A and B are shown apart, each in its own frame.
Chain A
C-alpha cells in the first residue's frame, strides 16, 4: 500500500509540476523515439492521453480535499449505528464529498475546455487550429482571434451555467 501511495504522490507531483505543452511534446514526439510502436499514435490520441493524465492530477487533489472535508465524527457515527464500511462510504462520505468537490471540479472542467487549445501544438485541428488556419490564409488575424476568443468565452459561459445548475441541485437536499 505504501508503494501505491508513493506512486500517486510522484504521479501528482510530476503532472502538476511540469507544463502541459512539455508533456504533450514529450508524449507525442519524445516517447516514440524510444518506443517505436508509439509512432502510429495520432496527435488526437496523444492529446487525449496526455491531457487526461495531466488533469487527473489536479482533479485528484480536488477530490482528496473534498473527502478530507467530511468530519471524522460522521464516519464514527455511521459505524456506531451499525453501518458497514461500504455503507459508511456510500451513504455518508460520498454524498457530502461530492457537494464540496463540485465548485473545484467546475474549475477543472473549465480548465479542460480551455486546455484543449493546447492540442493544436500536436497537430489536432480543433477550434484554435481552425482560427489560426483561417487567419493565416486570409491575413485577417484580428478577426480570426477575435472570433476564437468569443467562441471560447461563449462555451465557458454555457458550461458555467450548467455547472451552477448542477451545484444548485446538489445543494437542494442540504437546505
Chain B
C-alpha cells in the first residue's frame, strides 16, 4: 500500500475533532497539579 498525503490530512482532520478533549484534559491536569504541588511545596518548605 502506498503512502498518501490525503491519508495524513484525513487523520489530522479526525484528530482536530478530538482536540478539545485533549486540550481540556491538559489544561485541567495542569491547573489541578500546579495547585496541589504549590500547596505541598509550601508545606514542606515552611513547616
A92 interface residue (CB < 8 Å to B):
no
Chain B residues closer than 8 Å to A150, beta-carbon distance? 8, 12
* Contact A116 B41, beta carbon cutoff 8 Å: no
A56 interface residue (CB < 8 Å to B):
yes
* Contact B44 A48, beta carbon cutoff 8 Å: no
- B26 touches which of A57, A58, A64, A113 (Cβ 8 Å): A113
Interface secondary structure of A, over-half rule: helix
* Contact B37 A60, beta carbon cutoff 8 Å: yes
Given contacts A124-B21, A130-B17, A143-B3, contact A112 B29 (CB under 8 A): yes
The count of residues in chain A whose C-beta lies closer than 8 Å to any C-beta of chain B is 54
With A and B bound together, what is the CA distance between A109 and B28 in angstroms?
Answer: 12
* Contact A126 B12, beta carbon cutoff 8 Å: no
* Contact A112 B26, beta carbon cutoff 8 Å: yes
* Contact B3 A142, beta carbon cutoff 8 Å: yes
* Contact A52 B28, beta carbon cutoff 8 Å: yes
Given contacts A52-B32, A60-B37, A131-B14, contact A4 B43 (CB under 8 A): yes
- B5 to nearest A CB, angstroms? 8
Chain A residues closer than 8 Å to B18, beta-carbon distance? 125-127, 129-130
Given contacts A5-B43, A64-B44, A116-B25, contact A147 B32 (CB under 8 A): no
With A and B bound together, what is the CA distance between A44 and B10 in angstroms?
Answer: 25
- A11 touches which of B9, B34, B40 (Cβ 8 Å): B40
Q: Mark B2-16, 1 if CB is under 8 A from A, else 0.
A: 011001111110110
* Contact A119 B41, beta carbon cutoff 8 Å: no
* Contact B25 A135, beta carbon cutoff 8 Å: no
Chain B residues closer than 8 Å to A129, beta-carbon distance? 18
Given contacts A52-B29, A134-B10, contact A1 B22 (CB under 8 A): no
Given contacts A129-B18, A143-B4, contact A64 B41 (CB under 8 A): yes
